[in-house]
A and B are shown apart, each in its own frame.
Chain A
Amino acid sequence: MTVGVRLDEAAWGLLHQAMDLYQHDGRAVGRLRRQVARLEQPLRIAVAGPWRAGKSTVLNALMGEEVAPVEGADGVFTWYEDGTSPRATAYPVGQPPQELTVVKSATGMRVDLGWRVGEVRDIVVRWPTRALRQVTLIDTPALAAVDEQGHAPVLDRVLRDSDAVLFLTRDGRDSDLRVLESARDSVVGQAAPVNVIMVLSRADEVGGGRIDGLLTARQLARRQHRDPRVGALAVNVVACSGAIGLAGRMLSESDFAALATLAGASRVELEAHLLSADRFVRGELPVHLDAEVRAGLLDRFGLFGIRLATTLVRGGFDTRVTLSAELIRRSGLTELRESMTRCFVDRRDTLKARSALAAVEALVRAEPVRGADGLVGAIEQILAGAHEFRELRLLVALRNARLGFDAELAAEARRLVGGDGVGLAARLGVEHEATVQRLWEVAADAQWRWRDRAEDPLLPLAQRRGAEVVVRSCEGMLAELAAGGR
């Protein structure tokens, strides 16, 4: 939406400029070439987080199948790409790639890592699934705490290799935030923290497994997002229980039958048995359910999941499909996917361009050469002019009602900055076949109205700032129309 050069074109130009500058350095050129190639590839989204934050569970929930983790592959980056048939390839350091055997199971797949761990740094899994059409998901090793020099090596690689990050944390505690903050010392990182969604994973454990735990988790996420410290690090905060989401997505008829049986028991009686996991597995249930079935349910749903599911079945979600949908909705997985679509997939060009800028900046920092200052200048210029990043932030702020616009205004602002689609007609909210004349009128009208708002001294600063971004978007549309584009 930038008038003149678009962000991705600017990034492409910058990469080639850098390639000219580093033409004598074979390694640097190789890196830049890969970066150029990435502009054409699917968006890379890494799932990162500290130890036991539920990375693989969230990944499975997103894919809807039990694919991750690759057994025994600690400290390895696992790339999940779209492919026609399931295949897994390990890339050991300094040795040719090695095909791994993939065993398809009822709920997903299992990969045999016939390799001594430690030598392998990457495993690429090709898996035919719809979720991977547009994105490549990356399962990453646990992030260690920040070291003395203030660096987190794993996170550095995550940010280098991916365009966007789902940062998983149990509760957004200080040490986790500090890890994320450590990666923000670059110009690009500071200018546009639009590539991180913070996920309060394991939301089901909030409140010790109370039935309303997921709701409170969602409230916590909103509260976190309002925290300026978090706001500077992540574009959105979402509470999501990977376990419940995955259970919902993979809810089988037998699971449903078991849950329905449980729900058939009287509530008070069942409650006593759902007090603890031990009681559920070993106790004498009022209804007949095999011990293995119980253990399986507990394994997949957790105690909280079983409580939630039985309550839901009683509350009317009494078919497999409706229960599954409700579980997914409640788990926050829907919200997470929605957020990923809006913030990441819809804006993939922006994010990929951002990665390119970051890569060039990292290269210039690591190996400064004559004329590199020009590159840094170019990066800063592109960042300063990149309206896309500001739109993205405003969009998230609008969605979380942070600015205090009333619903109608917020909806309009969201539409104008591309929240409902990035085409001109979608932004202006007019019919598809509208004439240029009509588009111009609507855009000009919107621009004037929002300019008034941006200059209204009675409004709070945050609202005026937001209005300014909307005005800028309108101006961009008008310029585009003036240039004859649609």
Chain B
Amino acid sequence: MAGIWLDVLDEIARTCTTHGRGDLLQTVRQKRAQLLDPKLRVLVVGEPNQGKSQLINAIINAPACPVGDGRTTVLPTVVQHAEAAAAAVVQAPPASGRPMGTAGTPAATLVERTPLALDQVAAGVSGAVGRQPGGGPAYVEVGLPRAMLAAGLVLVDTPGTDQVAALGGAAEVAASTRADAVLLVSDSTRELSVAELDMLLHVTRSQPNVVVVQSKTDLVADWRAVAERNRQHLADAGVAAPLIPVSATLRLRAAATDDRGLNAESGFPALIARLQRDLTGKADHLARASVQAVARTVVEQLAAPLRAELATQDAEEQSGPISRLHAAQREVDELRRCSTRWQNTLADEMADLLSDIEYDLRDRTRQILRAVDEAFDTADPLVAWDTFAEWLERSLVEAAEANHEWLIQRCDWVARRVAANFDRYGYDVLPPWSMTMPADLGDRLPDLERPRIDRFTTGQKLFTGMKGSYGGMLMFGLATTLAGMPMINPVSVGIGALFGGKSIRDEGKQLLRRRQATVKTAIQRHVDEFFVRMVRDCRDAARQVQRMLRDHFTGLTEELQEAIVQSFRSAKQEADTDVALREQRQREIRLKMTRLAALYEQSQQLTGARSTPVLLEPRA
């Protein structure tokens, strides 16, 4: 019979190896050795002062473990068979990382044994003697010549605690995993406490064979009710442990007086029968249950990282190559958007710029013209022309320069505006260009030709004077003839001269006005010509700039696109490989899971009963 569970155990060990879990393998090996050992190690645990030591004494009918009122048991005590009564403190060397020898064959080379006199056992168990300061965890070994012990029973007494973490103390000898059965002792004066139930739940995880011993039934009358409620508590907590009420006092008394009835009353026969059944059945049903438990623990432990890996793989999808692919895709889209954006920006800005520049130039020339108008409303072109021409020339050049300056600034600004669209690509994208003021701006101006100006020549003046004086002289000559004066007399001549003078002045004014009008028209024409030429120049310049910017940024966009597409392509490739790899890994994991499930199934079949199935598949 031993063969089947041994095979399963070996299979479990192999699985541990393939999964590279040396720690689990260690446990499994230890368990194997322990199961092959015919001895039955019974661990006695419980809260302080529940009568654990007394229970052991009562089981073997000998005062093996010291019993006291306060905290008596400090070191775990191992009670086993010996030909003659003997005791020793066994202490592992300090900071020993290596596990001790398997049960029953302590590696004598590793541990330090200090023999104890029999009357010193109590002191030894309370940790007072035999222990080296600074040494590793120690325990006391008590050997007694008893039939029950000789049959292979080993009882391990532990220091009481209500902390799950402190269960069994520091010594490995008192670890519940190394025991074949665990007795949890709880006295009859109260029901199981929360701490005890926690402890039970903790122990049953690694150790299927747990018995709750309700001690001190002699103390209270209603121990049956307490036992009933305790069974209820166990059922509620889902702990499948039988409860055996006992009274160590009665048992010891029965042994002293050889009273069979009292012994039966103490409840011990049931407990001892249970232990003996475990002892004889160790190689069979106990071992199978153990293997089942081991399989359960191991499979759970092995499955946990696999499950976790499957779970994280979903998460990785968000962060791995796939996400890089998505990012690259987003980059491509972004670049496309960016290229439309900058083109629009450029066209809009350039149109704005042209209309602005034109308006500016027109504004400037209009101001010049207004000044010209004002000047020639009064000034005589004949006198002021030269000064004026010089001023006009200067004003126009200034206007042209200012306008051009602004054009340059605006162009620069437009270039920056467009370049701002490329900000996220992070490098300096301004074109390596700068517009400068053309040096020959002044020369490009049209020449101002002097308009033909009518001068009021002396002959003209004479002629006009004559024409004017003639009428006056004739008019007054005729009137004076009536007075008997000749036609030509001093009065008529004087009047004639007066009229002549007036005519000359009038004519002179008219001429001046005409001259002024002529000059204004000429200048207007000139300025118009200037304006047209300048506007054309500006347009040319702007168009040139636009073309240059377009070329520059198109080139840049293409460059960027190439880079981005490249990265997109590599990301895609990477993602594809990753998906393939992951799928492969998933298949591997599933395969491993299936194998684990098979192993678990196999172990389940060892005992007919199925325990709860292990959750192997990842949760949906």
Residues of A near any B CB (own CB < 8 A): 51-52, 145, 170-171, 173-175, 202, 205-209, 213, 216-217, 219-220, 223, 275-281, 295, 298-299, 302-304
Contacts and interface: CB of A to CB of B under 8 A. Distances in A.
The interface centre, meaning the residue of B161, B163, B189, B248 with most chain A CB atoms within 10 A of its CB, is: B189
16 contacts: A51-B190, A173-B160, A208-B54, A208-B216, A208-B249, A209-B219, A216-B70, A275-B218, A275-B249, A275-B253, A276-B219, A276-B265, A277-B220, A278-B217, A295-B221, A303-B220
Given A171-B49, A217-B69, A220-B70, A276 B218 contact: yes
B249 A276 contact: yes
Nearest to A144: B194
B468 interface: no
Nearest to A202: B189
A145 B194 contact: yes
Contacts of B221: 277-278, 280-281, 295, 298-299
B265 A175 contact: no
B195 A175 contact: yes
B507 interface: no
B189 A275 contact: no
Nearest to B254: A275
A228 to B, nearest CB: 16
Interface residues on B, range: 20 to 34
Interface string B34-51: 000000000000011101
Given A51-B193, A145-B195, A223 B219 contact: no
A171 B161 CA distance: 12
A312 to B, nearest CB: 19
Interface of B: 47-49, 51, 54, 69-71, 160-163, 189-190, 193-195, 216-221, 223, 247-250, 253, 262, 265
Contacts of B47: 173
Contact of B219 (A173, A220, A277, A281): A277
Nearest to B194: A145
A292 to B, nearest CB: 13
A220 B69 contact: yes
Contacts of A277: 217-221, 223
A22 B253 CA distance: 69
A213 B69 CA distance: 8
B115 to A, nearest CB: 29
Contacts of B69: 206-207, 213, 216-217, 219-220
A457 B38 CA distance: 65
A331 to B, nearest CB: 16
B265 A205 contact: no
Contacts of B216: 208-209
B250 A276 contact: yes
Nearest to A217: B69
Contacts of A145: 194-195
A205 B265 CA distance: 21
Contacts of A205: 189, 219
Given A276-B247, A277-B218, A302-B220, 12 more contacts: A173-B48, A173-B160, A174-B162, A206-B49, A275-B218, A276-B217, A276-B249, A276-B250, A277-B221, A277-B223, A278-B217, A302-B219
Contacts of B223: 277-278
Contacts of A219: 69
Contacts of A202: 189
The 5 tightest CB contacts between A and B, nearest first, are A276-B218, A277-B221, A216-B69, A52-B190, A207-B69
The interface centre, meaning the residue of A145, A173, A299 with most chain B CB atoms within 10 A of its CB, is: A173
B431 to A, nearest CB: 63
Contacts of B193: 51
Contacts of A280: 221
A206 B161 CA distance: 17
A303 B248 CA distance: 15
Contact of A303 (B49, B160, B218): B218
B168 to A, nearest CB: 15
A98 B265 CA distance: 51
A170 B190 CA distance: 12
Nearest to A53: B190
Contacts of B195: 145, 175
A174 B163 contact: yes
Nearest to B249: A208
Nearest to B162: A175
A372 to B, nearest CB: 39
A67 B71 CA distance: 34
B49 A170 contact: yes
Given A171-B48, A275-B253, A303 B162 contact: no
B59 to A, nearest CB: 16
A212 to B, nearest CB: 9
B265 A278 contact: yes
A208 B219 contact: yes
